[in-house]
Amino acid sequence: MLSPKAILVVLDGIGDRPIPQFNNRTPLQAAETPILDKLARDGCCGIMDVISPGYPVGSDVAHLTMLGYDFENDYPGRGPLEALGVGMDIGENDIALRGNLAHVDHSLVIVDRRAGRQIPEAEEFVGAVDGLVLENKPGIVFHAKHSTEQRVACVIRGKGLSMAFSSTNPNRNYTPIEKSVPLDDSVEAKNTASIINDITFQIYVKLKESPLNEKRKEKGLPLVNTILFHGAGKLKKVKGFQEKYNLKAGCVTGNGLIRGVCKYVGIDILPCKGATGTLETDLDEKINVLLSNMDNHDFLLLHIKATDSTGHDKKPEKKKQFIEKVDKALARLISNMDYDSTYIFITGDHTTPCEVGDHSGDPVPVLIAGPTVIKDDVEKFDETSCAAGYLSRIRGKDFFNLVLNKLGKLEKFGA
């Protein structure tokens, strides 16, 4: 077998808990998944704690971990990943933040911390403040780019910036925008907090006069006249994926955060218009993009988001149906890929139980199929069936070594 390849399918938030309407089965147990089950029969399964048993984890930290990065040292925070995900450039001295477009009154008290969530003019509002400079802080530039809904990726560039400042987003309405304060005694921290506060005020000055707000007011919509900041971070120096593993890697995803993670570690983002990260995502196109990139990549990550969103939305029936849609799409993948030289890994980045509506610390199922993969007795890809498999219960930090092991990319330690 010459240069085997690996595909990792991440079903975001796939794990779940028993659902009464499914006769106490999970959405994955209740779903008809002939392809996933065939792969389970062909290969071996297990369960995985991405960090450790019981510990809930975000998708960004989970993906970094599963890709073999040490989240405790390598996680840059949400801001930089969001900014990378929307295609912004970030320098190593820049500070990246997540912003929320919001509505404040004239005394800067928050009326709607998400300005209604669906904001058709979001790009225009954000464009109006992108490139903002401060008269009293020469050399500082504020960049912003719309992400999804009310979300804005923000980058502050200039000299003398520190990470030691507090956020301005209080995460609730009817309270003033929080004033950023320095979190240590340095000149840089004082300066950065002051820059954040000045930017906040200048954004208000710019946006409150926007004619777009006149129209929103007429329609009775929340105004968009501020950006609330949180999730600040700086890039960290991490070893790029290709240098680290000597693998050329690509990713198909419709999700900005995962795009950000991939850019951060140097995994190609493979363009795919139909990938929306929603229930309506074009899985066939995603599979096509994947298949057409098999020749020029060693490792391909297929990230599928809506398994998670349906858990957040507490919609088990939709989660089940979407899992069935994924299963059908995987049929095309496995009938068109070179099954003799390609390993397929299928897992989740965390569980999102519909009962909870958020990530929980339950383990996720894992499946490995492909040439010379040892076969166990697992006949179905689901939470409990996989737990009885050959892989037993593993940790996320070991996951990528399983991939590398199959690809023969790990040198033995010792003689």
Residue numbers at the binding site for a copy of itself (CB under 8 A): 17-18, 24, 26, 44, 47, 49, 51-62, 71, 75, 78, 81, 231, 257, 350, 353, 355-356, 358-362, 372-377, 383-384, 387-395, 398-405, 408, 410-415
Shortest distance, CB of residue 283 to a copy of itself, whole angstroms?
Answer: 24
Q: Do residues 29 and 383 touch, judged by C-beta distance below 8 A?
A: yes
Task: Rank residues 184 and 358 by Cβ distance to a copy of itself and give the closer one.
Answer: 358
DSSP H or E stretch at residue 101: strand 95-104
Task: Rank residues 105 and 377 by Cβ distance to a copy of itself and give the closer one.
Answer: 377
Task: Rank residues 142 and 399 by Cβ distance to a copy of itself and give the closer one.
Answer: 399
Q: Please, which residues bridge with residue 301 across strands?
A: 8, 251
The residue to which tokens 């006249």 are assigned: 225
Task: Rank residues 291 and 356 by Cβ distance to a copy of itself and give the closer one.
Answer: 356
Shortest distance, CB of residue 337 to a copy of itself, whole angstroms?
Answer: 19
The residue to which tokens 């029969």 are assigned: 41
Residues in the chain: 415
Task: Rank residues 50 and 90 by Cβ distance to a copy of itself and give the closer one.
Answer: 50
Task: Rank residues 158 and 353 by Cβ distance to a copy of itself and give the closer one.
Answer: 353
DSSP H or E stretch at residue 249: strand 249-252
Shortest distance, CB of residue 60 to a copy of itself, whole angstroms?
Answer: 5
Return left, alpha or beta for 182; rule: phi > 0 is left, psi -120 to 50 is alpha, else beta: beta
Shortest distance, CB of residue 81 to a copy of itself, whole angstroms?
Answer: 8
The strand order across the sheet containing 299-304 reads: 268-269, 249-252, 299-304, 5-11, 342-347, 364-369, 44-49, 392-395
- Which of 399, 89, 81 has the alpha carbon at shortest distance from 258? 81
- Which of 379, 347, 376, 381 has the alpha carbon at shortest distance from 364? 347
| Terminal-residue alpha carbon distance, the chain | 25
User: Cα(157)–Cα(46) distance, rounded to whole angstroms?
Assistant: 45
DSSP 20: G
Main-chain dihedrals φ then ψ at residue 170, nearest 5 degrees? -80, -5
User: Cα(79)–Cα(81) distance, rounded to whole angstroms?
Assistant: 6
Shortest distance, CB of residue 17 to a copy of itself, whole angstroms?
Answer: 4
Shortest distance, CB of residue 29 to a copy of itself, whole angstroms?
Answer: 9
Task: Rank residues 59 and 347 by Cβ distance to a copy of itself and give the closer one.
Answer: 59
Question: What residues contact 72, with CB distance under 8 A and at least 6 apart?
Answer: none
Shortest distance, CB of residue 228 to a copy of itself, whole angstroms?
Answer: 16
Shortest distance, CB of residue 359 to a copy of itself, whole angstroms?
Answer: 5
Residue 298 CA, distance from chain mean position: 22
Task: Rank residues 56 and 266 by Cβ distance to a copy of itself and give the closer one.
Answer: 56
Task: Rank residues 52 and 175 by Cβ distance to a copy of itself and give the closer one.
Answer: 52
Shortest distance, CB of residue 110 to a copy of itself, whole angstroms?
Answer: 21
Shortest distance, CB of residue 141 to a copy of itself, whole angstroms?
Answer: 26
**SS3 for 125-186, per residue?**
HHHHHCCEEECCEEEEEEEEEECCCCEEEEEEECCCCCCCECCCCCCCCCCECCCCCECCCC
Task: Rank residues 62 and 232 by Cβ distance to a copy of itself and give the closer one.
Answer: 62
